[in-house]
Amino acid sequence: MLNVAIVGPGLVGGALIEQLVAHAQSSRFTTLPISVVGLINSKKMALSATSFSAASLGQWQTAILGDSAQPADMDWFANGLAGLKGATAVVDCTSSDVIAALYPKWLSWGLHVVTPNKKAFSSDLPLFQEIKQLSSSPRGPSVYHEATVGAGLPVLSTLNDLVRTGDQIIKIEGIFSGTLSYLFNNFSSPDATQTFSACVAEAKANGYTEPDPRDDLNGMDVARKVTILGRVAGLEIGIDTLPVENIVPESLRTVSTADEFMTRLPEFDSHFSDLNAKALQAQSVLRYVGFVDGVDGNSSVKLARYPLDHPFASLKGSDNIIAFTTKRFPNPLIVQGAGAGAAVTAFGVFSDLVKISERFGCTSSVDSSKF
């Protein structure tokens, strides 16, 4: 069995629990060797020497992290996990850099790490390098973070395969934000009618945005994804030096809460309508894009215009599109599909857990009411 502990059962972590329960309760599938033994959020925690039952996981808010749960203590929790028998994976579903900074300790204790949290891979280069080094041994602890770029889309696995087989990455270009894709697909097209602020509110309600939507609109979420792709491709790239276009209106950058930002955003609808009208007059649409330059180091993140017949102009919903131009693929290899949302992100995390369980030869018990 692969023991699994979920840190931050919020939108994505909660969807992961739902998918694990649904899988375990369906007779269509062979039981997976995955056993959920721990849950922790910023207030409460529960850790069990054996699996939680599917029934209690189905109501984890009351049955596991309810009133009787212990106060959260991450050190105690991780120590307990390190003491379990067999392979154990910590799934970090927070967006916390404090939690991300704990990965080296967890790895050095033999715990695997799976996460959609971008912080560890896109902040200081030494943290990324330390994590890479600690997870480099084929039979040692591993780190899987497919959902950090393009949510569940096979973006990092594709890039890793290209790199590991000796292809040369020339350029990776794409729309890497589900939020900004949804926003500009709906706001910037010849037949669009919605205001900019209404599109942002919808993206937030659909679960595409970061907990604070300014982290999407200021370009930092895309900058982090470009940094992760660049680093996985072998470049020494960082969010501090990457040119990033921040589209948050100047006077909203310093408002103290995400709620205040959302309330005041309609004041700036005419600014965005003007930008859009100019693009449409030039038979173009606005799209927020990221570039990884594998040759000259000119990676960037910006709001750009694309002609109406360009593939980026016809994207739908929250789709991401990622085009890898390489020595072997001069006509780019393209990955496209929903790039944000709880279900598709949880799928990316779930499939990483399955990979670890297979790689480390975990085998399942036959009782499908347990994990």
* 311 belongs to an annotated ligand binding site: no
- Identify the residue among 4, 5, 8, 326 touching ligand NDP (CB under 6 A): 8
Contacts with ligand LTNE7NMQ, 312-351, as mask; x by CB under 6 A: ---------------------------xx-----------
Tally of CB atoms within 10 A around 77 = 20
Please say if 225 is a catalytic residue: yes
Binding of ligand LTNE7NMQ at residue 155 (CB under 6 A)?
no
Nearest-CB residue for ligand NDP: 10
**Which pairs count as long-range contacts for 252-255, CB under 8 Å and 24+ apart, including other chains?**
252/214, 253/214, 253/218
* 210 belongs to an annotated ligand binding site: yes
Binding of ligand LTNE7NMQ at residue 209 (CB under 6 A)?
yes
Nearer to ligand LTNE7NMQ, 145 or 370 (CB): 145
Give which of Na ion, ligand NDP, ligand LTNE7NMQ, none residue 155 binds (C-beta under 5 to 8 Å, depending on kind). Answer: Na ion
- Structure tokens given for 126: 């030494």
Cα 51-54-60 angle, rounded to 5 deg: 90
- Structure tokens given for 192: 């669009």
- Residues contacting 168, CB < 8 A, separation 6+: 294, 326, 327
* Nearest-approach distance from CB 33 to ligand NDP, in angstroms: 24
Give which of ligand LTNE7NMQ, Na ion, ligand NDP, none residue 177 binds (C-beta under 5 to 8 Å, depending on kind). Answer: ligand LTNE7NMQ
Tally of CB atoms within 10 A around 129 = 12
C-alpha span between 119 and 97 (Å, rounded): 6
- Residues contacting 356, CB < 8 A, separation 6+: 2, 87, 89, 112, 114, 142, 144, 362
* Nearest-approach distance from CB 365 to Na ion, in angstroms: 30
Contacts with ligand NDP, 335-354, as mask; x by CB under 6 A: -----xx---x---------
Do the beta carbons of residue 324 and residue 170 sit within 8 Å?
no
Binding of ligand LTNE7NMQ at residue 13 (CB under 6 A)?
no
- Partners of 112 in the beta sheet? 89
* 211 belongs to an annotated ligand binding site: no
C-alpha span between 139 and 111 (Å, rounded): 12
C-alpha span between 180 and 208 (Å, rounded): 9
- Identify the residue among 103, 121, 146, 313 touching Na ion (CB under 5 A): 146
Nearest-CB residue for ligand LTNE7NMQ: 179
- Strand ranges in the chain using DSSP code E only, listed in sequence order: 2-7, 34-40, 44-47, 70-71, 88-92, 112-114, 143-144, 169-175, 284-293, 300-307, 319-326, 333-338
Q: Please list the active-site residues.
A: 225
* Binding residue ranges: 8-13, 94, 118, 210
* Binding residue ranges for L-homoserine: 210
Contact residues toward ligand LTNE7NMQ (CB under 6 A) are 151, 177-179, 208-210, 216, 221, 339-340
Contact residues toward ligand NDP (CB under 6 A) are 7-13, 40-43, 93-96, 98-99, 116-118, 147, 151, 178, 207-208, 210-211, 340-341, 345
